[in-house]
Amino acid sequence: MSVALRILDDGAWLSVDDQRRVSVSELWRLDAPEFCDCDLVDFIAEGFTEVSADGREVAVTTYGKCIACGESGVPGRLPVGRIREGSYEGYDRQHVVLRPIERRG
Ligand SMILES: [Zn+2]
């Protein structure tokens, strides 16, 4: 089982098996207390720099900003979907709170 994960257009899209699946300018709600002082971060993604799959979870390293307070930066790797039986399944990113995956090491 292998799924091709790629970042396209200078970080504007995450492509899975040659289909554009996640785009910047989505508004995500993050539980990332280290990113800014807001209870939940109203995060607008501005670019993807890296994509990884840990086990079955697909995560993108994303930079962007909190539209509530203006803080910008990289909150970490954000889980956007998962691989199930060889195909990609996106999370309902508009309606859940995403939690950055801790960096390891
Ligand atoms: Zn904020």
Cα of 19 vs centre of ligand 1, distance in Å, is: 32
Tokens of 84: 């199930």
Separation of 52 CA from ligand 1 center, angstroms? Answer: 26
What is the 84 CA–ligand 1 centroid distance (Å)? 33
Over residues 77-100, the pLDDT tens digits come to: 999 999 998 899 999 998 999 999
Per-residue pLDDT of the chain in tens (105 residues, 90 and over written 9): 578 999 999 999 999 999 999 999 999 999 999 999 999 999 999 999 999 998 889 999 999 999 999 999 999 999 999 999 889 999 999 899 999 987 554
Q: How many residues does the chain have?
A: 105
| Percent residues over pLDDT 90 in the chain | 84
Exposure string of 63-78, with b = 16+ CB inside 10 Å and e = fewer, is ebbbeeeebeeebbbb
CA–centroid distance, residue 45 to ligand 1 (Å): 13
- The pTM (predicted TM-score) of the whole model is 0.89
d(CA 42, ligand 1 centre) in Å: 7
Report the distance separating Cα 1 and Cα 96, nearest Å.
Answer: 28
Other Cβ atoms closer than 10 A to 7:
18
Q: Where are the domains of the chain?
A: 5-98
